[in-house]
Chains A and B, each alone.
Chain A
Amino acid sequence: MTFRQWFLISLVSGTAATALPAQAARLDASADLGLRRAVEHELVAARAIGLPEGLLIAKANEGIAKRAAPKRITDAVAALGKRLQVARDQLAPNPSEDEIAAGADALYVGVPAPLLKKMRAAWPNRSLALPLGVLTELVAKGLPASRAAQVVTDLMARGASNVQLYALAQSVQGDVAAGWAPEAALDLRARGVMSLLPPVPAASAFANPNPRRP
C-alpha cells in the first residue's frame, strides 16, 4: 500500500484546461514560397468578394500542420473558398462569419446548398451556427441530409433552443453508438424534443388577422 500510495502522490498531476495559443490568422511561417503564393492568390480572390480570410488561412495551416503536399493544400483552400461563397449566398442576407464557417462545414459533409436557405428561412433573425453544426454532425453520422435538415428545421420553427438542438445531436450520437439505426434514433429523439416545445397555435376562424391596438 505504501508503494501504491507513493505512486499516487508522485503521479497525481493537474488536469487544468490547457491554455493553448489562439489560432493565428497568419500563414504558417514554414510554408514554402510556392505554397505561400498559391494561398495568397486564393486570399486575394476571397478578399475581393468579402469572404473571411481567416478561415482560408486556418485551412492552409491545417494542411501544413498535417504535412500535406502543397498542391493538396492549395486545392483544399480553393475548395473551401467556394464552399464559403455558397454558404454565404445561401445564408443571406447578413450571415456572420461563424454561420458561414458552419455552412461551409455542412456543405463539406454533403448537405445540399438549398437546405441552408431553408434553414435561414426557418430562423431568419438568430444565429444558425449551432443548428448547422448539429446538421453537420447528423449527416456525418450517416443520416440522409434531407431528413436531418427537415428535422432540425422543424425543431427550429417550433422554437427549439440551441441547447435542445445540441442535446438532440448528443442523444442521436449515443443511440447510434449503441447500435440504433441513425434514422430511427433521429426520429425518436426529435419526438422527444418536440414534446417539450409549445404547441403550434391552431388557426382560428375567429382570429382577427389585423388586431386593433388598444
Chain B
Amino acid sequence: MKVAAAQAPDEIRVEAGAAQVRQAGNRTRSAALLGVTWRRTEARFATTVSGSVTAAHDSTGTAQGLLALRYQLPRLPKWRVEGGVAGAMFGLNALTGGGNGATFVRVQRGNGPGGMWAGTAGSITNRSGHNMQSSTFDVGAWGEYRRTSATLAAVSTRSRDADLLAASSLPSRRPVGAYTVRDATLTVQQTFAALDLAAIGTIRSGEGIATKVNDRSFMLAAAFYLSPVMALTVSGGRQLADPLRALPDARFVSASVRLLLLRRDPAVLQIDRYGAIALTRRDPEGGATLTIRVLANSAARVEAYGTFSGWQPVRMNWVLDAWELQVHLPPGPQRVAVRINGSQWRAPANLTKVTDEFGGEAGLVVVP
C-alpha cells in the first residue's frame, strides 16, 4: 500500500506466505499470499489500511483492500463508531472475474474486558458486467477472561449474488433470485507464553437456496512469536461463501511469516527491548493525553504505572496488535514506566530515564 507508506504510519504489519486453496468442486490450487496493514492512532481516531494479494496461476488470484476508521465519542467514553470501505478484484473459477466494493458502519460499546456491537454493511459485486447487491446486519459481543477471549457474532446477509454460491458450491445448491443466509460465529482465542491460538466456528442457515439450507465451517489459526516483532502463523479450515465480500466457499491451509514493524516517528527514535514508547498530545482544556504503546505479543501481561495512577499498576489494553494505554496527565513533570509479565519496570524508550529512591526507573514527561 504505497499510499499508506507515504503517510508516516505509527506501525506496519507485513505478512507473507503460501496457501493451498480448494474451492468446492475444483482441484486444489497453490497461492502466494502477501498482506500489509498500516495503522495510525491519534487522540480519538484510529485508522487502519490494509491490502493483500493472493497470487495464483489461475482465477484464485485476488487483490483486496480495506480502509477502516474508528472514532471515540468524546462524551461517551464507552462508545465508539467504526466505519470503512473495502474493495476487491478477483477471478472466480469458471467466471470471467470482476470486482467487489463494500462499506460498513458499526457501533461498539466497550465495558471493561467485554463489549458488544451492532452494525450494517452493504456491497456491490460485479461479474461480467452484472451488478449484484448484498447487505448485512450484524450484532455481537466479546469478552475476555485472563488469557482467553471470545467473540460471538450473529450476521444476517441478504444477497442477489447467486453466481457466488454457484461458483463455490455444487450445482444442486445454486440459489434462485435473492437469498438470505444467517450465520452464528463463535471465535475463541487462547494465548500461551509465545503462542496465540484461535478457533472460529460458524453455523449457517438460509432461505431461498434450493437445497442444503444448513451448513457449517470451522477454522483454526496459530501464531508463534519468535520475537516481539516476528511470528510464524499457520491456519486452516473452511470458510463459507461470503456474499458481502464476494468470497467463495473454500477449504484452505496457509502458512506465513508476520513482521510487526514500528515505523520511526519524530517522537520515537529508539525502541528498547520492550518496544515501549510514549507519545504526548496537548489537550485544549489543559494538560496532555499520554499514549503508551508496547510491542509485545498478545500473550503477555503488560502494565503501566506512574504518577498518573498513584504508582498503582494499570493493565494495558490489547489493540489490534500492540498493547496500549491512554491517560490524561495534568501539567507539570510526570513519570511513567511499563513492565511485561511482572518483570522490572522500565522507562518507555523515547522518554528521559530517571531513577527513583527505591531503585526503580521511570520515564520523565513534562506536560505543558
> Which of A's residues lie within 8 Å of B, judged by CB?
1-24, 58-59, 61-63, 65-66, 68, 72-73, 75-76, 79, 98, 101-102, 105, 109, 129-130, 132-134, 136-137, 140-141, 162-163, 165-166, 169-170, 173-174, 177-178
Whether, in the assembled complex, B275 has its beta carbon less than 8 Å from a beta carbon of chain A, the answer is: no
Which of the listed residues A5, A9, A136 has the most CB atoms from chain B within 10 Å of its own CB? A9
Question: Interface size of B by Cβ–Cβ distance < 8 Å?
Answer: 81
Contact A21–B319 (Cβ < 8 Å): no
- Which residues between 221 and 273 of chain B lie within 8 Å of chain A, taking CB atoms? 221, 235, 239, 242, 245, 247, 266-267, 269-270
Q: Is the CB of A177 within 8 A of B270?
A: yes
Contact of A12 among B314, B319, B360 (CB under 8 A): B319
Partner-A contacts on B (CB < 8 A): 35, 41, 46, 48, 50, 52, 62, 64, 66, 68, 70, 72, 77-78, 80, 82, 88, 106, 108, 110, 115, 117, 140, 142, 149, 151, 153, 185, 187, 189, 198, 200, 219, 221, 235, 239, 242, 245, 247, 266-267, 269-270, 289, 291, 305, 307-314, 317-320, 324-328, 331-333, 345, 350-354, 356-360, 364, 366-368
Partner of B320, one of A12, A75, A162: A12
Contact B310 A102 (CB under 8 A): no
What residues on B are CB-neighbors of A23 within 8 Å? 307, 310
A-B contact pairs, 9 of them (CB 8 A): A1-B64, A10-B187, A21-B309, A21-B310, A68-B358, A73-B358, A98-B331, A132-B333, A140-B354
Chain A residues with Cβ below 8 Å from B68 are 8
Q: How far is the CB of A140 from chain B (nearest CB, A)?
A: 5
B357→A15 contact, CB < 8 A: no
Query: Smallest CB-CB separation from B198: which chain A residue?
Result: A7
Give chain A residues whose Cβ lies under 8 Å from the Cβ of B200: 3, 6
Smallest Cβ-Cβ distance to B290: which chain A residue: A17
- Cβ–Cβ contact B77 & A16, under 8 A: yes
Which residues of chain A come closer than 8 Å to B153, judged between CB atoms? Answer: 9-10
A11 engages B331 (CB within 8 Å):
no
Cβ–Cβ < 8 Å partners of A17 in chain B: 77, 289, 326-328
Q: In the complex, are the beta carbons of B187 and A6 less than 8 A apart?
A: yes
- B239 lies within 8 A of A2 (CB): yes
User: Considering the chains assembled together, what is the distance between the CA atoms of A105 and B367 in angstroms?
Assistant: 14
Which 10 residue pairs across A and B have the least CB separation, nearest first? A177-B269, A65-B311, A76-B357, A10-B151, A133-B366, A68-B358, A133-B333, A166-B368, A23-B310, A17-B326
Indicate if the CB atoms of B327 and A15 lie closer than 8 Å: no
Q: Is the CB of A76 within 8 A of B326?
A: no
Select one of A76, A130, A140 contacting B358, CB under 8 A. Answer: A76
Closest Cβ of chain A to B281, distance in Å, is: 10
Whether A1 pairs with B52 at a CB distance below 8 angstroms is yes
Bound CA span A101–B319, Å: 35
- Whether B219 and A177, one on each chain, are in contact in the complex, defined by CB atoms closer than 8 angstroms, is no
Q: How far is the CA of A149 from the CA of B315 in the complex (A)?
A: 38
Contact between A8 and B333 (Cβ–Cβ < 8 Å)? no
A21 to B354, CA, bound (A): 24
Question: CB-CB < 8 A to B52: which residues of A?
Answer: 1, 4
Tell which of B80, B267, B325, B354 touches A170, judged by Cβ atoms closer than 8 Å: B267
- Residues from chain B with Cβ under 8 Å of A101 in the complex: 332-333
Contact A14 B235 (CB under 8 A): no
Contact B312 A65 (CB under 8 A): yes
Question: Which of A20, A66, A162 sits near B360, CB closer than 8 Å?
Answer: A66
The chain B residue with its CB closest to the CB of A99 is B332
Apart from the given pairs A6-B187, A12-B320, A105-B333, 16 other A-B contacts in the complex at a CB distance below 8 Å: A4-B50, A8-B320, A9-B151, A10-B142, A12-B82, A13-B317, A23-B310, A61-B310, A66-B360, A72-B357, A102-B333, A129-B331, A132-B333, A133-B367, A140-B353, A170-B267
